[in-house]
Amino acid sequence: MQVSTKKEVYSWIKTIVFAPVIVFICREFLFSPVDVRGESMEPTFENKDRAVISKISAIERFDVIVFKGPVKDEQYIKRVIGLPGDSVEMRDDLLYINGKSYDELYVKRNNKIKLSKITGDFTLNELTGNEKVPHGCLF
């Protein structure tokens, strides 16, 4: 074998060995693909959509996050509306966070069923028993 052929083979072996290592590190620590199942995030995501999530980004209000559910190997994709210390209320189809109303542009309001409300009224206290989102939690 010539020297250039040996170098070429060695180069390919390095690539074949290092590529899976780099992919593993990226998937485990930086980002990961997810499959969307269900319709609860429409119109942002539809059933069977695929998305790539970042594992290193800071979470802010109205971000979409993926988290482990109570059942083994089950994941949920949801939107964050309450950060630690926030009070959250839904009244007359308007979202109130710390007393300020927010337009929810991501909610499909012109539905074919013609419901009077898309989201039912609630307060954080009614759903969780807490007046404010606890430290270390999201809503």
Q: Which amino acid makes up residue 40? A: S
Count Cβ atoms below 10 Å from residue 77 Cβ, excluding itself.
20
Give whole-number Cα distances, 73 to 21, 34, 122, in Å. 24, 12, 30
Which is catalytic among the residues 40, 54, 57, 101?
40
CA 31 to CA 24: how far, in whole Å?
Answer: 10
Query: Would you state the structure tokens that stand for residue 37, as one six-digit string?
Result: 């199942």
Residue 78 annotated to the active site: yes
Nearest Cα neighbor of 104 from 112, 93, 113 is: 93
H-state helical runs in the chain:
3-25, 124-128
Residue 55 annotated to the active site: no
Catalytic residue annotation:
40, 78
